């Protein structure tokens, strides 16, 4: 079942989600929600979807980054972003630990801020301790783009959107991004912004 993705302005996106008890996780309603979220994420399409984005204030998200998505990137971007395929999985009640103080900036989008993108600084490496869809504890170690996806989805569970963390100078429509900046390295975009401000 395809669920409606809530857009910024909907208060469910600005309320911290509650943790799920182990018996809730394996219940039919939550298992059905997980299946529907996976279907909705793939239909969108996206690489992650948190329960608040479909109207449920629960500490639950689904994640998948496919080789097909990555193959559509402009040349060199997968390597620049350290982006590799991530199999479909579920995170529940996640606890995020930053494993690298290094931060990198790349353009991010969000299914709940449809039609826009911006540069967002994120930690390069993280660990996430959580439960899976069976209520079993798992520990995930992630670098590069996968680390970014985890941080983005966990932000949703804590009532944050990428627009709270973005470089506001970079905020633009997806149409503008695809027209002017899609094939340009992030460093070149930042240099152009700095040059424009110095000459302004």
Q: What is the pLDDT of residue 194?
A: 85
Q: What is the pLDDT of residue 196?
A: 67
**Residue 2 domain flag:** no
**Residue 133 domain flag:** yes
Q: Supply the residues annotated as catalytic.
A: 153
**Residue 33 domain flag:** yes
**Residue 1 domain flag:** no
**125-131 and 86-98: which strand pairing?**
antiparallel
**Residue 177 domain flag:** yes
Q: What is the pLDDT of residue 82?
A: 95
**Residue 6 domain flag:** no
Task: Provide the domain limits for residue 30.
Answer: 11-199
**Residue 5 domain flag:** no
**Residue 158 domain flag:** yes
This prediction's pTM: 0.95
Q: From CA 117, how far away is CA 18, in angstroms rounded? A: 28
The CATH number of whichever domain residue 75 belongs to comes to 3.90.45.10
Element (H, E) at 141: strand 137-143
Q: What is the pLDDT of residue 111?
A: 98
The number of distinct structural domains making up the chain is: 1
Neighbours of 102 (CB within 10 A): 9
Which of 162, 14, 30 has the alpha carbon at shortest distance from 93? 30
Q: What is the pLDDT of residue 100?
A: 86
**Strands across the sheet containing 48-50:** 48-50, 60-65, 86-98, 125-131, 137-143
Tens-level pLDDT at each residue, the chain (200 residues): 999 999 999 999 999 999 999 999 999 999 999 999 999 999 999 999 999 999 999 999 999 999 999 999 998 999 999 999 999 999 999 999 999 888 999 999 999 999 999 999 999 999 999 999 999 999 999 999 999 999 999 999 999 999 999 999 999 999 999 999 999 999 999 999 888 664 55
């Amino acid at each position: 079942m395809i669920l409606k993705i809530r857009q910024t302005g909907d208060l469910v996106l600005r309320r911290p989600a509650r943790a799920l008890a182990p018996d809730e996780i394996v219940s039919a309603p939550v298992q059905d929600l997980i299946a529907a979220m996976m279907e909705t994420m793939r239909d969108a399409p996206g690489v992650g979807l948190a329960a608040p984005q479909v109207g449920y204030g629960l500490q639950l998200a689904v994640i998948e980054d496919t080789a097909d998505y990555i193959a559509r990137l402009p040349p060199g971007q997968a390597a620049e972003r350290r982006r590799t395929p991530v199999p479909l999985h579920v995170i529940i009640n996640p606890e995020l630990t930053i494993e690298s103080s290094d931060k990198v900036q790349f353009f991010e989008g969000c299914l709940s801020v449809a039609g826009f993108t911006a540069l967002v600084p994120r930690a390069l490496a993280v660990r996430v301790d959580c439960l899976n869809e069976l209520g079993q504890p798992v520990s995930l170690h992630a670098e590069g783009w996968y680390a970014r996806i985890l941080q983005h989805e966990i932000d949703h569970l804590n009532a944050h959107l990428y627009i709270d963390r973005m470089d506001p100078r970079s905020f633009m429509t997806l149409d503008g991004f695809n027209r002017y900046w899609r094939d340009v390295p992030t460093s070149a975009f930042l240099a152009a912004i700095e040059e424009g401000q110095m000459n302004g």
